[in-house]
Amino acid sequence: MHFDIEKLRWTREPKDYTVTGDLIKIVTAPHTDLWQRTYYHFRNDSAPVLQMETDERFFSFVVKTAFESKRRFDQCGIVLYLDSENWLKASVEYEDEHIQHLGSVVTNHGYSDWATTAIDASVRSMWYRLSRREDDFRVECSTDGAAFSQMRICHLLEGAGPIRFGVYACSPEDSSFTATFTNMSLTECQWPAHDGQPPDM
């Protein structure tokens, strides 16, 4: 399998960006975000996402992110955006000069969750690997691009057919920063089939 940067298409194209070779840079605009309803009760669907479409049912996508975030909730990472009410994302979200949130959000039928773990604010780069097995997905992260750790396994209610996946960056508050994406690859699925309890019949 091969990742072709020429196949990427914008949803909400940002004003300031670069796409060339194996490099994507996005300069975020203030007050851009992806979130639906849960807890906060607001609906934000304004972040730019750059994605390719596939009907492959088993694959893995890897990308390295580097970021200069500096304001609360500044974020960039991997995304699988179907529409405003069905998507998943994984990123490092800046909190303050001490910590950031390495986490993921899954949104099904207009309701988002948020699962996080705290990491040091000095972290300025993170790798992600998104794997698909039909309508189930696994998100992993890595600090070196070699050893990946599972962040979550999830199901998308609308994820059985053709999907779109790629990268995103946004600044929910009054902020702007540069997010850089490199080392993108598309491979055979790196998420092995389960070899434990058999499925219910």
Please check the confidence at residue 201 and state whether its pLDDT lies above 80: no
DSSP E strand boundaries for 21-109? 23-27, 34-36, 43-45, 49-54, 58-67, 75-83, 86-94, 99-108
pLDDT, tens digit, for every residue of 14-40? 999 999 989 999 999 999 999 999 988
201 in any annotated domain: no
Number of structural domains found in the chain: 1
Tell me the residue range of the domain where 83 lies.
Answer: 5-187
Minimal CA–CA distance to 60: which of 125, 21, 2? Answer: 2
User: Which three-class secondary structure state does DSSP give residue 166?
Assistant: strand
Instruction: Say what the pLDDT of residue 2 is.
Output: 82
Instruction: Say what the pLDDT of residue 197 is.
Output: 83
198 in any annotated domain: no
pLDDT, tens digit, for every residue of 62-80? 999 999 999 999 999 999 9
